[in-house]
Chain A
């Protein structure tokens, strides 16, 4: 894993926030396997056993593996079938019990034993490595995820840009804290041009308790497009910039005009809550970068809303940008108030 060191001031990693299935550890299920005592019988055994017990629902499982220990008397082992609870209960492990109709000629096959095999195909390299330590599996590597997990998806100059965007979010959070707001900041950037379109701090302690930093920033982007629901006169650090200075942004929806947050990145000093995460789905955000996880976070900590198959928009999420500075925001003391970790 590579670490960035910029301005000699801070070190941080940018890591992908994957779906629940991509981030979980390997789930194992019981299966009956048996040693292949005679290598010459292997082909026939695989054919006959596969016909009797296809692994159609678990195509990632390799039927045969070379023996684990080099001193083993037999060269190969094979999966006979997945162990249903009934088979397990019966303890019926004899070849006769497993192949009662004589579909498989047991010549060359040793005594069956119970083992554990990975239940799902591995989605990431770490999952592949863990799964393979139990039983060989096939793996269709997603190169982008692998590069992201190893911390080399982004170039140093991209990371420098991320850092400067998150610095703006941290700065906004500090300005907010000065107004007794929750110290959370957000910045929206146009992915194509790298231009900052809006910067905001959390306003939930102001005129509306739902104005979390992400909600404010989404509304500021709307303001920049000639819309918006709120005015931010009392919060000078909540600002927006016109998308592209020239041609007066008419409200007609001609081609080339921005459509809500399509193609934009949001930087958040901490992981957003369910409401904010879903607001980002509604807004068609391009990518989200957050500094630190939150106990009530709805991306990496709970729900993984950005990868939810039932929702009509999905986006990439990364965490860890300027992590230390983002974390230190939680310790800004607001006069006369004790802070708890709310989203």
Chain B
């Protein structure tokens, strides 16, 4: 595997990153966003951290993965690194399966990913660890959808309640 070459990643390190990602998802939940957290790890260093910022930015595409990609771009600028090389050797740790938009974005950036539970037929440069701490992430999503989205139009919220 191209990423993380030169030094094996221990299970302990992996566990620590997943913990961090889960904590970020919790923070998102506390601030009324969809609880998704993700980390971008390059050479055993966290260079991007994202949580969902859809409500804050009023931009429905600001998912945790997109936010983290922006941070990696900033990191590359600050450290005068070539983004192409950095992304190709970056691993994404994310608490839930990326949506189609984020999956497409990750693919365009050639980012490897490790996901709690992810089923895919896209193949190629992606990597995932199925079932890794999935219960916790799914539970948080359920909590979120029990709450009301403060930015959603009132009529829609009402309709959702009726259909239950």
Contact = CB atoms under 8 A, between A and B. Distances in A.
Contacts of A59: none
Q: Chain A interface secondary structure, helix, strand, loop or mixed?
A: loop
Contacts of B153: 253, 255, 259, 262
Interface string B109-120: 100000000000
Nearest to A257: B153
B146 to A, nearest CB: 17
A262 to B, nearest CB: 7
Interface in A95-110: none
A208 interface: yes
Given A253-B150, A282-B101, A225 B58 contact: yes
Nearest to B155: A255
Interface in B19-63: 53, 56-62
Interface residues of A, number: 30
Contacts, number: 77
B71 to A, nearest CB: 11
B125 to A, nearest CB: 16
Top 8 closest A-B pairs, CB basis?
A227-B58, A278-B101, A222-B59, A275-B104, A282-B60, A274-B104, A222-B58, A278-B100
25 contacts: A207-B73, A209-B83, A209-B108, A210-B66, A215-B61, A218-B60, A219-B57, A219-B61, A225-B58, A228-B57, A228-B58, A229-B62, A253-B150, A253-B152, A260-B59, A261-B60, A274-B101, A274-B104, A275-B105, A278-B100, A278-B101, A279-B60, A282-B101, A283-B61, A284-B60
Interface of A: 207-210, 215, 218-219, 221-222, 225-229, 253, 255, 259-262, 273-275, 278-279, 281-284, 305
Interface of B: 53, 56-62, 66, 69-70, 73, 77, 83, 99-101, 104-105, 108-109, 150-154
